[in-house]
Amino acid sequence: MTDLNFIYSELFLAISIMSLLIIGVFKKNSSNLIYNLSIISLLSCLALIFSFPINENAELFNNSYKIDYLSSFMKILTISSGIFVLISSNKYIQTININKIEYPILALSSILGMMVMISSNDLILFYVGLELQSLALYVLASFNRDNLSSSESGLKYFVLSALSSGLLLYGCSLIYGFSGSTNFFVISENLTQDDYVLTFGIVFIIVGLAFKISAVPFHMWAPDVYEGSPTSITIFFAILPKIAALTVFIRFLYVPFLNLIDQWQMIMVFLSIASMLFGAIAAIGQSNLKRLVAYSSIGHMGYALAGLATGTNQGIQSSISYISIYLFMNLAFFCCLFMLRRDEKYFENIQDLSGLSKNHPLLSFCFLIVLFSLAGIPPLAGFFAKFYIFSAVIDQSMYFLAIVGLLATVIAAFYYLRLIKIIYFDKEKEKYETNHNIGLKLSLLISSIFILFYFTYPSWLIEIVEKINII
């Protein structure tokens, strides 16, 4: 029973999901209560993780569930971004009338699925977590069911995701058939020689995971789903599943298959380069902000994968710091989007930003630093994210990847600059409302301050991720 100590946070989350469901069913008009309670349960979940020494290592349930520094850190990232997402989108879901009891509960289930994914050390358990988070997300994507595009995006995500899950399962079965086990440790022990069947298995799993983090060429779903889903779910899509999938990527590639690095390194490099370039070029023509974020996140995932492609601890660390900084930038960006509200209507077209700086100087300033940070211009946080990635990449003498990546940065800078141009240089439009709730303001404030002042003390993030040593 002592083993259960380590998964208190998961257990707690599971129990609170169930009890919230019961409360929701039996108590009428309890959607606000449930919403607040879910935030509280996430907070307590976070507290539970912190209450244990987070650098403790443990393998539970026949080595299929791994608790280590990586998993704890990624869980903290996931849960805290979940909290921020819920806090900042409160007003939004009330306005567009999707404030139902199921909404926060599904979000919590998806987070639970991600936590399982992050800790999984076994192909089956990993798949269980993946499906839990995906199923919840399918429903969430189509949550605004009266809206055609929302239903469409849910369906699209479901169909394509099911396909990719199929590929992933096929890959798992190939690996199982070859190594005789689904456990990562056992797989890595049984791998004495490399075999092309095994490579097939790895490729299929990489494809499945690449789908989840929307890396090119498995990105097709992202723009439509991002655009169609309610914005509060788009921000969910943009941040949380990526953290979980990246962790699985790390665990999967670096624990059982590190010896086969020659087999998968080229694939990762390709995924990375394709995502960086495609994300940068395709985003230029977009006119919907959510669609633009979809392409920009494709590009950003390319950078995170570049770190993973190196095959070193330092590469992993740089990827993790990239995703941490990326999280704050996206959070800030979406908080800014949530502020574009007028007469109970939210605006998400590029032209709606026109001349924002004249009427809303502070909001525009936040947009400004977020966009420059996403473009990777020093001294903002986004620059450091890219800097860590490229220093890991160049350390491995992968100059081609580094130079293509940096050129993609320049292309990407163009569309970020275009947004800044629209905000700052164009003619002003009507004012937006300014009475936002405190949660949204707080989220924006925290993330903007993080982005703006990260450069004053960049060591802290390094010190945290330095402890992640997988190899």
Partner 1 sequence: MIDFPILSSLILLPILGALFIFFSKSKSNSDTTSKYLALFVSFGNFILSLYLWYLFDPTTSDFQFLEERTWIKGFINYKVGIDGISILFVILTTFIAPLCVVSVNNNIKNSLKHFLIAILVMESLMIGVFCSLDLVVFYLFFEGGLIPMFLIIGIWGGERRVYSAFKFFLYTLLGSVLMLVAIISIYWMTGTTDVMYLYSIGIEAKYQNLLWLAFFSSFAVKTPMWPVHTWLPDAHVEAPTAGSVLLAAILLKMAGYGFIRFSVGLFPIASEYFVPLIYFLSLLAIIYTSFVALMQEDMKKLIAYSSVAHMGFVTLGIFTFTQQGIEGSIFQMISHGLVSAALFFSVGVIYERMHTRLINSYGGLVSIMPKYAIVLMVFTLGAVGLPGTSGFIGEFLILMGAFKKSFLVATIASFGVILAAAYMLWLYKRVIFGKIINQEIKILTDLNKSEVLILSILAFVIILFGFYPEPLLNTTKVSVKDFIEMYYNNINFTKN
Among the listed ranges 5-13, 66-74, 115-123, 408-416, the one in contact with partner 1 (CB under 8 A) is 408-416
Among the listed ranges 38-46, 254-262, 288-296, 379-387, the one in contact with partner 1 (CB under 8 A) is 379-387
Binding residue count for partner 1, defined by CB under 8 A: 31
Binds partner 1 (CB under 8 A): choice among 166, 414, 433, 467: 414
Question: Tokens for 147?
Answer: 């809206």
Q: Which is nearer to partner 1, 352 or 426 (CB)?
A: 426
- Asked if 383 is part of the footprint of partner 1 (rule: CB under 8 A), the reply reads yes
Binds partner 1 (CB under 8 A): choice among 11, 124, 261, 377: 377
Among the listed ranges 33-41, 234-242, 335-343, 385-393, the one in contact with partner 1 (CB under 8 A) is 385-393
| Residue 458 CB, nearest approach to partner 1 (Å) | 5
- d(CA 298, CA 213) in angstroms, rounded, equals 8
- Asked if 61 is part of the footprint of partner 1 (rule: CB under 8 A), the reply reads no
Q: By the 8 A CB rule, do 9 and 49 touch?
A: yes
Strands (E), 102-229: none
Cβ burial, residue 287 (10 Å; 0-12/13-18/19+): exposed
Q: Which is nearer to partner 1, 265 or 391 (CB)?
A: 391
| Residue 270 CB, nearest approach to partner 1 (Å) | 20
Binds partner 1 (CB under 8 A): choice among 387, 442, 446, 470: 387
- Asked if 399 is part of the footprint of partner 1 (rule: CB under 8 A), the reply reads yes
- Asked if 427 is part of the footprint of partner 1 (rule: CB under 8 A), the reply reads no
Binds partner 1 (CB under 8 A): choice among 394, 446, 464, 470: 394
The secondary structure of 185-204, three-state, reads HHHHHHCCCCCHHHHHHHHH
Give backbone dihedrals phi and psi of 121, rounded to 5 degrees, phi first. -125, 25
C-alpha triplet 60, 65, 67: angle, nearest 5°: 85
- Asked if 406 is part of the footprint of partner 1 (rule: CB under 8 A), the reply reads yes
Among the listed ranges 158-166, 214-222, 285-293, 410-418, the one in contact with partner 1 (CB under 8 A) is 410-418
Return the bridge partners of 58, or none.
67
Binds partner 1 (CB under 8 A): choice among 15, 25, 284, 403: 403
Q: Which is nearer to partner 1, 421 or 431 (CB)?
A: 421
- Asked if 367 is part of the footprint of partner 1 (rule: CB under 8 A), the reply reads no
- d(CA 301, CA 447) in angstroms, rounded, equals 20
- d(CA 108, CA 86) in angstroms, rounded, equals 10
| Residue 331 CB, nearest approach to partner 1 (Å) | 21
CA 458, distance to chain mean position in Å, is: 22
Single-letter residue type at 205: I
Q: What pairing do the DSSP bridges indicate for beta strands 345-346 and 341-342?
A: antiparallel
- d(CA 155, CA 186) in angstroms, rounded, equals 37
- Asked if 217 is part of the footprint of partner 1 (rule: CB under 8 A), the reply reads no
Question: Tokens for 316?
Answer: 């992993």
| Residue 302 CB, nearest approach to partner 1 (Å) | 15
Instruction: List, in order, residues 6 or more apart from 407 with CB less than 8 Å away.
Output: none
- d(CA 222, CA 226) in angstroms, rounded, equals 6
Residue with tokens 């003498």: 397
Instruction: List, in order, residues 6 or more apart from 89 with CB less than 8 Å away.
Output: 231, 232, 235, 338, 440
- Asked if 159 is part of the footprint of partner 1 (rule: CB under 8 A), the reply reads no
3-state secondary structure of 101: coil
Question: Tokens for 277?
Answer: 């370039």
- Asked if 458 is part of the footprint of partner 1 (rule: CB under 8 A), the reply reads yes
| Residue 355 CB, nearest approach to partner 1 (Å) | 11
- Asked if 402 is part of the footprint of partner 1 (rule: CB under 8 A), the reply reads yes
- Asked if 410 is part of the footprint of partner 1 (rule: CB under 8 A), the reply reads yes
Q: By the 8 A CB rule, do 110 and 133 touch?
A: yes
- Asked if 462 is part of the footprint of partner 1 (rule: CB under 8 A), the reply reads yes
- Asked if 180 is part of the footprint of partner 1 (rule: CB under 8 A), the reply reads no
Binds partner 1 (CB under 8 A): choice among 143, 278, 372, 432: 372
Single-letter residue type at 14: A
- Asked if 455 is part of the footprint of partner 1 (rule: CB under 8 A), the reply reads yes
| Residue 322 CB, nearest approach to partner 1 (Å) | 15
Q: By the 8 A CB rule, do 162 and 221 touch?
A: no
Q: Which is nearer to partner 1, 100 or 418 (CB)?
A: 418
Interface ranges with partner 1 (CB under 8 A): 357, 361, 372, 377-379, 383, 387, 390-391, 394-395, 399, 402-403, 406-407, 409-410, 413-414, 417, 420-421, 424-425, 455, 458-459, 462-463
